[in-house]
Structure 1
């Protein structure tokens, strides 16, 4: 069992590490879009797409960089007591709290799948069967949701990125859970 945990940890950590390192440079893309927004508003006609595109880039930056942040342990912790505990006690507390995070991310992921199905024109109550139907050909994409701004972009791309980010964050949380189990057992990771 520990071999499977080690394999899972290495695989998920490798994917999230590489993606996180790539997403670090997303801040420069965001800065470029905001710089163009400022220049176009000052010297030319203002671009309609810049502020909303900046929001979409920020969503991708945050959601796809989140698993990397969890992996590095750079998320917010209450170090008042936690910093003085032994590694084993930290692992027990982390094991307990990551279960709440996994539940929370599961609920968010379900909501994101429902919202993405809605953005693709599905108004039913079974979003997972809708996506299964898209794959098999028994479902069709309906009238797609668009933003209510003047630019009116489709919403499904950013919602799909949110699903991917939440799914990767969920995988990383399970990896952290396995790391805590191995630490409690006294094994090296």
Structure 2
């Protein structure tokens, strides 16, 4: 199989986190048609992203998508067999190299020692019995004989390992070549089927839409009693998001929560790409896990104010749930003391972390110089240029330890933004509680 040598550029990562949610929010606000229909644009998107599994066929209600499944499974099987053969080849090659090095090292030593041993024996015979020269010659003779014995044993072991490992290496090489070719040709078959479907998609879309027109509309039966019972159990269960907003802070929290919610869709695409790269192309990425790890960390922080507004945080409300609105407001006012201690600490410490992330010595941008106090704020703004954003040799402070080396300062600053949104939402909740107590509601 061909390898995928692709590393996501840093600018594409951060730009995707900004543009994708905006596009999602715009699409979500489009007027929905009275009758759902299949679209060629979505079919082509599924073809590009999940065509190797035949998902575009399933989207268009065509069971011929099942043809892709066994071919795809065969690709996975072949890649697994190729990886096993590669591991066996690596082990056998190492054994061959070790055995060859042993033969190259020990054979001359044994031959040289065997050539000298007759001279040492003659020296022992010529020396006077019990003399120092005789004892010294006997010790050298003993060392030479031991060296010959040890060397011959090592040579025998090395020759045996070499004789055993060489056939394994040859067989593993053949297996690896076979399974590599099998996976490649199977993948080429999938690509050919995808190319054919790319031509057929317009007609498949028309056929799917024609089948919708022939179907009778399903009647939706709503049990009024069940709906009323659900509303009594949880009055806010079906409450739309916009009904939570009473001021600009609430609306800001709603927009922030909606914005980062679309990041979860990005994770689907990224992890799908990682799985396909790893198991289909044997090319695991160095950036997929870390990019999503950072993204979910930022999502968790920014969505905190949204969860607080919509009361989505997990809490134990055995006593709180049965209180009147006025008593709930008094309880919230009391517990807000602890909330503001936490949120204020998060805000201050995250600001310190964010500034430290920019000011680390590895940063060579003008912004890092400003964070270290080497230039003023005005000089920093005047010194910024497009090169600071596009040149990979310019480091904005702290970077990850992974070989992807993504800058970490945006994530640290999102900690500060999340803390700020949480404090603002706390202020909004505090004002609502004051009004609830004043009105006696």
Please tell me the TM-score bracket, short chain as reference: 0.7 to 0.9
Structure 1 residues 134, 62: CA separation in 2 closer, same or farther (over 3 Å shift)? farther
CA contact (8 A) 1:121 1:142 kept: no
In structure 2, stretches of 5+ residues that fail to align are 1-245, 362-369, 384-393
Aligned pairs for 1:1-189 within 5 A: 10-44=247-281, 45-121=283-359, 130=371, 135-137=377-379, 144-186=397-439
Residue in 2 that maps onto 1:4:
none
C-alpha change, 1:50 and 1:79, in structure 2 (3 Å) is: same
Verify the 8 A CA contact 1:48 1:151 in the aligned structure 2.
yes
Distance 2:379 2:333 in 1: 42
- Which structure has the greater CA radius of gyration? 2
Per the TM alignment, residue 49 of structure 1 is displaced from its structure 2 partner at its CA by 0.6
Task: String of CA shifts for 1:94-138, please: whole Å, max 9, x gaps.
Answer: 111122111211111111111111111258xxxxx9599753337
SS at match of 2:322: coil
* Counterpart-to-counterpart distance in 2, 1:148 and 1:24: 27
Q: Deviations over 1:67-90 (max 9, x none)?
A: 111111111221211111111111
1:136-182 CA-partner distances (Å, limit 9, x unpaired): 33799997111112211111011111111111111111111111111
C-alpha distance in 2 between matches for 1:116 and 1:169: 17
Compared with structure 1, are the counterparts of its residues 135 and 142 closer, same or farther at alpha carbon in structure 2 (3 Å cutoff)?
farther
Structure 2 Cα separation of the partners of residues 34 and 100 of structure 1: 38
Q: Do the aligned partners of 1:102 and 1:170 also contact (CA within 8 Å) in 2?
A: yes
* Runs of at least 4 residues off by over 4 Å: 129-134, 138-143
Unaligned runs of at least 5 residues, structure 1: 1-8, 124-128
Alpha-carbon distance change, 98 to 31 in structure 1, aligned in 2, over 3 angstroms: farther
Counterpart Cα distance in 1 of 2:251 and 2:257? 10
Give the match's secondary structure for 2:434: helix
Which residue does 1:3 correspond to in 2? none
Residue 105 of structure 1 contacts residue 166 of structure 1 at CA under 8 Å; is this kept in 2? yes
- TM-score, scaled to structure 1: 0.82
Kept in 2, the 8 Å contact 1:26–1:61? The answer is yes
Structure with larger RCO (C-alpha < 8 A, sep 6+) = 1
SS in 2 for 1:146: coil
